[in-house]
Amino acid sequence: MKIVIAGGTGFIGRALASASAAAGDEVVVLSRRPSLGAPKTVVWDGASTGSWQQALEGADAVVNLSGESVAEARWNEPRKKLLISSRLNATRALVAALSAAKQRPKVFLSSSAVGYYGDRGDELLDESSKPGSDFLSKLCQDWEKEARVAEPLGVRTVVLRTGIVLAQGGGALSKMLPIFKTGFGGPLGNGGQWMSWIALEDLVGLIRHAVVREVSGPLNGTAPNPAVNKDFSRALGRALGRPALLPAPAFALRLALGEMAGMLLGGQRALPKRLLETGYSFKRPDLESALRSIIG
């Protein structure tokens, strides 16, 4: 199988490229910042069509993981514009390349996030649930809309609404571990907000699963057992052998992070209903065992 990964030098992209290469697939990475040791890399600007389009010819799958991190910086207006443009422009360019290809790829899998649903309290959410109305939700809705332009081209299209990805060396856990290792970790706000999480190995596994299965439309990329923030904090503390009792007050988070604090103080109780219906078997469905495995 030939798989093209846009954003393949990022945290998730590197893991997907490595697993795909290990399975014997031909892997082509599209990246604005090529790195040593990566599979075959084609440089693109992440925003416009160009000579990189040739990489898509005859591919079995194109996976779109492009987009600036939502957690890297405070959401001022320039940052919000960058979060939007890095996702929408890259997706438009990929769909334009799909349209122009003489031998179109069979499947286009494009990232989204459970932020699509907005802050929904204790409500159980699956892929049929309505979207929210905050900044992240609107961003995800626009992102998915751009990806689904590929559907009329006859390309099977999947939008993957990913939760919090857990692994060493990147993602949310890399920001949490230094604090929790000192014993100063704890719940955010009142700790009652839901966290839809997934181990990186399962995220990679379900992407590869969705590529080969006849599935299309939205998929929740989350483990089947979401946890509230205070339980997540306790489980992480136990995995590290540290207390996890010191809360980060909501007012302090809002003062420090502004609008971005809503992402930490709100949450989604998202379930991978469609993914389970397609027969995917999770390697790490339980939070405590997932954290212990990751931390080692």
Provide the pLDDT for residue 251.
84
Strands (DSSP E) along the chain, which ranges? 2-6, 26-31, 40-43, 61-64, 107-113, 124-125, 156-162, 164-166, 194-195, 197-199, 217-221, 227-228, 269-270
* Positive or negative: CA dihedral 159, 75, 266, 135: negative
Determine the residue type at 246. L
For the beta carbon of residue 278, count every other beta carbon within 10 angstroms: 14
* Radius of gyration for the alpha carbons in the chain, expressed in angstroms and rounded: 19
Provide the pLDDT for residue 36.
57
Q: What pTM was estimated for this model as a whole?
A: 0.95
Provide the pLDDT for residue 245.
87
Give the chain's domains with CATH numbers: 2-165+198-222+269-284 (3.40.50.720)
For the beta carbon of residue 224, count every other beta carbon within 10 angstroms: 16
Angle, in degrees to the nearest 10, between helices 200-212 and 11-22: 60
pLDDT, averaged per 10 consecutive residues of the chain (296 residues), comes to: 94 95 96 72 93 96 96 93 97 98 97 97 98 97 98 97 94 91 93 97 98 95 98 96 91 87 93 96 96 92
Residue 11 backbone phi and psi in degrees, to 5: -55, -50
Provide the pLDDT for residue 35.
66
- Secondary structure of residue 140 in the 3-state scheme: helix
Provide the pLDDT for residue 257.
87
